[in-house]
Amino acid sequence: MFFWFCIVLCALAGCFVTTRDVMTGEPREVAVNGTKVVNAARFAVVEFNKANVEDVFAYKLSNISSAKVQVVAGINYILEVKISRTMCKTSVTTDGEP
């Protein structure tokens, strides 16, 4: 009887551990096609093109595969994106995005 009590207790404890709420400051999944996520990804590509002075050609955003948001003192976006090299030269683009 004690054996079955331990098994049930462990199973219930496992249920409580896996159904926890998201803690404050913990990154959480968000939709990859959300306006703020797409704007953050575009901003990151523009800044990448500005910092990438060694390459003559600019890069553009191809795909956002995953996105997470972390709320701390501000908002951090944790993105996995695919960027592609374009045929546009970096000196030609005025807004930073090809």
Q: Enter the CATH code of domain 23-98.
A: 3.10.450.10
Domain spans in the chain, listed from the N-terminal domain onward: 23-98
Adjacent-strand bridge partners of 57: 89
What pTM did the predictor assign?
0.69
Residue 8 has pLDDT above 70, yes or no: no
pLDDT tens digits, residue range 54-70? 889 999 999 999 999 99
Structure confidence at residue 23 (pLDDT): 75
pLDDT at 90: 79
What does the pLDDT read at residue 68? 95
98/9 Cα distance (integer angstroms): 59
User: Considering only CA atoms, which of 50, 80, 51, 76 is closest in space to residue 63?
Assistant: 80
Highest mean pLDDT of the ranges 11-15, 64-68, 94-98: 64-68
% of the chain beyond a pLDDT of 90: 53
